[in-house]
Amino acid sequence: MRNIMFQQLLTPEAALKFAADTKYALEQGKAVFESEHLRTDGGIMPVETHAHAIELDGETFVLRVVMDISGRKENERAQRQLLKE
């Protein structure tokens, strides 16, 4: 298994927002946002990220839980299409 840094999974657009999203999570204590990540095969995957500021040994970090929301996005597209018909 190869070691991949979190930032390597970000699309260029998501990478631009990464610092601002991190700052917001630190200021608010938590944040939820959507973005896109790169798959290992080069494809793009929509994700939802829950970011929480945590303190450990006197230092503050942002813990991120990232979930693939491809199925949810596909369902939303299908529902919009049905409403157009």
In percent, how much of the chain has pLDDT > 70? 95
Q: What is the DSSP string of 12-37?
A: HHHHHHHHHHHHHHHHHSEEEEEEEE
| Structure tokens, 20 | 């601002």
For 1, 11, 15, 61, the CA distances from 35, given in Å and listed in that order, are 25, 8, 10, 20
What's the whole-model pTM score?
Answer: 0.80
The overall average pLDDT reported for the chain is: 90
Taking the mean position of all CA atoms in its chain, how far away is CA 28?
17
pLDDT of residue 66: 93
Question: How far is the C-alpha of 20 from the C-alpha of 85, rounded, in Å?
Answer: 39
Mean pLDDT confidence for 59-63? 94
Q: Any idea which residue has 């204590």 for tokens?
A: 29
Q: How confident is the model at residue 1 (pLDDT cuts 50, 70, 90)?
A: low
pLDDT of residue 32: 96
